[in-house]
A and B are shown apart, each in its own frame.
Chain A
Amino acid sequence: MTQKLVVVGNGMAPGRALERLFETAPGSYEVSVFNAEPRTNYDRILLSPVLSGEKSYEEIVIHGDAWYEQNGVTLHKGKKVVSIDRQAKTVTAEDGTVAAYDKLLIATGSVPFIIPVPGKDLAGVLTYRDLDDVNAMLIAAEKGGSAVVIGGGLLGLEAAAGLKSRGMDVTVLHLMPTLMERQLDAAAGGLLKRALEDRGIRVITKANTKEILAAHDSQGATRVRSVVLDDGTEIPADIVVMAVGIRPNAVIAKDAGLETGRGILVDERLRTSDPDILAVGECVEFNGHVYGLVAPLYEQANIVANELAGVGGAGFVDKALATKLKVTGVDLFSAGDFADGEDREEIVLRDATRGVYKRLVLKDEKVIGAVMFGDTADSGWFFQLIKDGTDISEMRDTLIFGPAYAGGDHADPTAAVAALPDDAEICGCNGVCKGRIVSAISKKGLTSVDDVRTHTKASASCGTCSGLVEKLLALSLGDAYDPAAVKPMCGCTDLAHADVRRLIVAKELKTISELMQELEWKSSGGCAKCRPALNYYMLATWPGEYVDDYQSRFINERVHANIQKDGTYSVVPRMWGGITNSRELRAIADVADKFEIPTVKCTGGQRIDLLGVQKEDLPAVWADLNAAGLVSGHAYGKALRTVKTCVGTDWCRFGTQDSTGLGVRIEKFMWGSWTPAKVKMAVSGCPRNCAEATCKDVGVICVDSGYEIHFAGAAGLDIKGTEVLCHAKTEDEALQVIVALVQLYREQGHYLERIYKWAKRVGLESIQAAVVDDLQRREALFEDFVYSQRFSQSDPWSERARGAKDAHEFAPMADLTCMEAAE
């Protein structure tokens, strides 16, 4: 008989534990999960990139709603458990929901520590723990103003950098004389302070907060106004973020009479003092230790899953931990133990001009702690020395200079990685070992760190191990691995497409020239690669505000026709869903005669192409086509191309839905929108699929019960069948999903990246989470698309046929032929 497992808390630790449990012992429990947060499981570590704008919430979701459904898990969102009845074996939530358990897993994480000063409860005083905190910060940041972050540890500094990149004036208050005093000595703390100040963040050390003062607005509500230090300094603040530390959240366990210390006491199998209750994550205390980083929690998660599954395996042991400051542009890595002690020695390297600091703590000829600032390239190697407990007496003299100087096998860092055994752990956060990464690279044909991240989760969390993953790619692929291939957009910048898209939003860059100035473009005025990309990013990010820069568009999009090898152009009018009529055909025939157009061809996209039109004739050709109601088919654009259809219920004896009608509706709704690369769609009336919908960017297969929505197919340079996105019951729903999907792609796609490549990069799950599971998000994406259509859905041909736009394109500037004839 299946037992009932109840999980309290839905953070990273139980998320991993359940994954592991479903792998090892599928179906052994009927699981319900209570989550005080009103959402599914997400990667808390990546809240900082969400705050700074480098990632969206969808990108950090670990399990979407679909995952819970697939695994038969009942998820109680937004229900906080308030009590455990160990006799009755039930838990009760705030809203009265009661759930009975055979086994209970407590995973309540930590709570942020609030310093007990007057004003701590004012509106505008926040902590930094969950998505709600981030959202509150983002709302505050929209209005600009000042933020004060109390606490100069990793969390506080990440919050400060995020708020700064969102345009706030930020001050960090730190109680001690230097930042991160546990890891860094005074000089290194000074370097870190300078790096932050260079980014425009004010740092005040030895700052002891005395109280938080309130302001009253016109409605009489009070919220924070400023922070006062004990020396009387008053710092204005529209928000205050407290990031002074966390403590295990053991309240419900303690109330239920479980043994607790600082956290819930557990043994090496994560069992509490009640045999039917286990605990995992930041809420536990093991051997006097509590935890604040993911790596050991994932380790615990695996063990607790084994315990629940009734299989044995190793117990939990304490291990060295590594952490990295996730502030773009500030490289800080620290690992291991830094406490002072008689038996410890230090090796320190400083290079003030380069802003580099490295410190190693040694004990018994072994490295037990390492800090690097400014240059963290060797951090993986040092961390390995710590984990392995390697005897370093042989290379002690050059140790600090890293593997390049250390001689022997480790001289080449790539060789050092090659020498690691298959079960060496590469990604501590996600517990991914070398063997798994290497086999994924070869089996799935992965070529970039992003690929590895999507398929194995290695380096998906804190990112510390990205360097190791790169080395594994280099080892596996040899010369075929080109790290630069995924990196800079073009020779004009070191930034990748993703960076540029993020920074356009974060820094509110609204023109190409402003962007090149601000992001320090290396060429004057960009090149033919970056300019069209930037133009698209601007258009997609700032609809209605950004003025299209035609000189940054490829000729086809500049003159709304396709250039041919002889310098003439081809003209493809839209045929909605592939439907035409005698009037349109007659107009096309007349145009072909009148302008002596040499070739008239049916395209692969169910419409007609007029090839070999002289450039000067384009406006007149368009005027005639317009007169018959024909508009531009955008056959030349990174835009919506065709929506192919089959005859569907109108005629076909197998048709299940009006596929022609839906295709026409989609095309009429979406034409004119610009996209990262071309977008082709099709709607088939039944699974016989005569419109070839299953190799398109977006395809619909009509079935009796509605519409199967497919996407991420390809049939050009690559051939790939589509993935199923979801099933829609009505035409309206189908349209809404498709529009939301394309809008998400418009927001996230890299220029020239077709939908199937984008989907591979960001992962199908994140797309499903945004446009299928999260109805609010779907709605918002839909609205954003509709808004941007207001500015792009006008026929470019008619604007030009009337001579209203770009007349200079279609006529020479001067004609000197007669002059010379006269000579």
Chain B
Amino acid sequence: MNMMESVWVDVGALEDIPRQGARLVKTSVGCVALFRTETDEVFALDDRCPHQGGPLSQGIVHGNAVTCPLHNWVISLETGLAQGADEGEVRTFPVRSEGGRILVEASRLGHNKDAA
């Protein structure tokens, strides 16, 4: 497959993710968690909590945030920043939902500088 600067890849239907839930997409830069909020917004973040690497996809989604299952840090889905007194940041990825399908921008997932 030949990738241009910005390539949107269809990874599945919006309905595949439960509302206020998450699913994983495996990539060569690690697992990316796709979150669906109560209002059907979709976000994509690294599935690694900045605290001790907890799998954010397993947390509870509330508003536009997720609470990590291991020690309850709250991470903003929009910015990837830890909320409240905790400090840390998770990488976020461009994603959009269109006509019930979810598209992620794949260029950063394929050949990402950080990943090397």
Instruction: Decide if A and B are genuine partners.
Output: yes
Which residues of chain A have a CB within 8 Å of any CB of chain B? 523-528, 531-532, 550-555, 558-559, 563, 565, 567, 808, 812-817, 819-823
Query: Does the CB pair B60–A812 fall under 8 Å?
Result: no
Look across to chain A and name the residue whose beta carbon is closest to the beta carbon of B32: A816
Q: Is the CB of B20 closer than 8 A to any CB of chain A? A: yes
Residues of B within 8 A of A816 (CB): 9, 11, 25-28, 106, 109-110
Query: Does the CB pair A551–B111 fall under 8 Å?
Result: no
Q: A567-B55, A819-B106 are in contact. Are A524 and B63 (CB under 8 A)?
A: yes
> Within the assembled complex, what's the spacing in Å between the Cα atoms of A565 and B51?
12
Q: Is the CB of B76 closer than 8 A to any CB of chain A? A: no
Query: Does the CB pair A525–B62 fall under 8 Å?
Result: yes
> Within the assembled complex, what's the spacing in Å between the Cα atoms of A816 and B3?
13
Q: Which 4 A-B pairs have the closest CB atoms?
A: A528-B67, A813-B23, A814-B11, A551-B20
Look across to chain A and name the residue whose beta carbon is closest to the beta carbon of B55: A567
A178 to chain B, nearest CB (A): 46
- Beyond the given pairs A528-B59, A813-B11, 5 more chain A to chain B contacts, judged by CB atoms under 8 angstroms and listed by A's residue number, are A524-B38, A526-B62, A559-B58, A563-B55, A815-B26
Number of interchain pairs (Cβ within 8 Å): 104
Query: Does the CB pair A555–B69 fall under 8 Å?
Result: yes
B:1-52 near A, CB below 8 Å:
1-3, 9, 11-12, 16-21, 23-28, 31, 34, 37-39, 52
> Within the assembled complex, what's the spacing in Å between the Cα atoms of A372 and B116?
71
Query: Does the CB pair B27–A817 fall under 8 Å?
Result: yes
Query: Does the CB pair A812–B59 fall under 8 Å?
Result: no
Query: Does the CB pair A528–B27 fall under 8 Å?
Result: no
Residues of B within 8 A of A525 (CB): 20, 37-38, 62-63
Residues of B within 8 A of A814 (CB): 11-12, 25-26
Residues of A within 8 A of B17 (CB): 808, 813
B35 to chain A, nearest CB (A): 11
Q: Is the CB of B61 closer than 8 A to any CB of chain A? A: yes
Look across to chain A and name the residue whose beta carbon is closest to the beta carbon of B28: A820
> Within the assembled complex, what's the spacing in Å between the Cα atoms of A822 and B2?
9
Residues of B within 8 A of A565 (CB): 52, 70
Q: A555-B69, A816-B27 are in contact. Are A567 and B54 (CB under 8 A)?
A: yes
Q: Is the CB of B77 closer than 8 A to any CB of chain A? A: no
> Within the assembled complex, what's the spacing in Å between the Cα atoms of A248 and B37?
63
Residues of A within 8 A of B59 (CB): 528, 555
Query: Does the CB pair B34–A821 fall under 8 Å?
Result: no
> Within the assembled complex, what's the spacing in Å between the Cα atoms of A531 and B61?
10
A-side interface mostly: mixed
Query: Does the CB pair A813–B62 fall under 8 Å?
Result: no
Query: Does the CB pair A820–B62 fall under 8 Å?
Result: no
Q: A808-B18, A816-B25 are in contact. Are A528 and B55 (CB under 8 A)?
A: no
Query: Does the CB pair A808–B72 fall under 8 Å?
Result: no
Q: Is the CB of B90 closer than 8 A to any CB of chain A? A: no
B90 to chain A, nearest CB (A): 15
Query: Does the CB pair A527–B28 fall under 8 Å?
Result: no
Most chain B beta carbons < 10 A, residue from A524, A555, A812, A813:
A813
* Residue of A526, A528, A555, A817 touching B28 (CB-CB under 8 A): A817
Interchain Cβ contacts under 8 Å between A and B, 16 examples = A523-B63, A525-B37, A525-B62, A527-B60, A528-B60, A552-B20, A563-B55, A565-B70, A567-B55, A567-B58, A808-B16, A808-B23, A813-B23, A814-B11, A816-B106, A819-B110
> Within the assembled complex, what's the spacing in Å between the Cα atoms of A526 and B20?
11
Query: Does the CB pair B69–A563 fall under 8 Å?
Result: yes
Query: Does the CB pair B69–A551 fall under 8 Å?
Result: no
Q: A812-B26, A814-B12, A817-B26 are in contact. Are A823 and B110 (CB under 8 A)?
A: yes
Look across to chain A and name the residue whose beta carbon is closest to the beta carbon of B30: A817
Number of interface residues of B (CB under 8 A): 42
B36 to chain A, nearest CB (A): 10
* Residue of A523, A553, A812 touching B31 (CB-CB under 8 A): A812
> Within the assembled complex, what's the spacing in Å between the Cα atoms of A524 and B110?
35
Look across to chain A and name the residue whose beta carbon is closest to the beta carbon of B24: A812
* Residue of A523, A551, A815 touching B60 (CB-CB under 8 A): A551
Query: Does the CB pair B61–A551 fall under 8 Å?
Result: yes
Query: Does the CB pair B25–A815 fall under 8 Å?
Result: yes
Q: Is the CB of B74 closer than 8 A to any CB of chain A? A: yes
> Within the assembled complex, what's the spacing in Å between the Cα atoms of A747 and B31?
41
Residues of A within 8 A of B11 (CB): 813-814, 816
Query: Does the CB pair A813–B1 fall under 8 Å?
Result: no
Look across to chain B and name the residue whose beta carbon is closest to the beta carbon of A564: B70
Query: Does the CB pair A531–B60 fall under 8 Å?
Result: yes
> Within the assembled complex, what's the spacing in Å between the Cα atoms of A814 and B67?
23
Query: Does the CB pair A551–B63 fall under 8 Å?
Result: no
Query: Does the CB pair A823–B60 fall under 8 Å?
Result: no
A620 to chain B, nearest CB (A): 18
B28 to chain A, nearest CB (A): 4
> Within the assembled complex, what's the spacing in Å between the Cα atoms of A550 and B20?
10
A interface footprint on B59-97 (CB within 8 Å = 1, 0 otherwise): 111110001011010100000000000000000000000
Look across to chain B and name the residue whose beta carbon is closest to the beta carbon of A815: B26
Look across to chain B and name the residue whose beta carbon is closest to the beta carbon of A806: B18
* Residue of A532, A555, A813 touching B12 (CB-CB under 8 A): A813
Look across to chain B and name the residue whose beta carbon is closest to the beta carbon of A552: B60
Residues of B within 8 A of A527 (CB): 60, 62-63, 67
Query: Does the CB pair B69–A554 fall under 8 Å?
Result: yes
Query: Does the CB pair A812–B110 fall under 8 Å?
Result: no
B111 to chain A, nearest CB (A): 7
Query: Does the CB pair B3–A823 fall under 8 Å?
Result: yes
Q: A812-B25, A815-B26, A822-B1 are in contact. Are A550 and B18 (CB under 8 A)?
A: yes
Q: A812-B24, A816-B11, A816-B27 are in contact. Are A528 and B72 (CB under 8 A)?
A: yes
> Within the assembled complex, what's the spacing in Å between the Cα atoms of A47 and B24?
54
> Within the assembled complex, what's the spacing in Å between the Cα atoms of A816 and B1?
12
Residues of B within 8 A of A554 (CB): 60, 69
A525 to chain B, nearest CB (A): 5
> Within the assembled complex, what's the spacing in Å between the Cα atoms of A565 and B38?
28
Residues of A within 8 A of B63 (CB): 523-525, 527
Look across to chain B and name the residue whose beta carbon is closest to the beta carbon of A525: B38
Most chain A beta carbons < 10 A, residue from B61, B62, B111:
B62
Look across to chain B and name the residue whose beta carbon is closest to the beta carbon of A814: B11
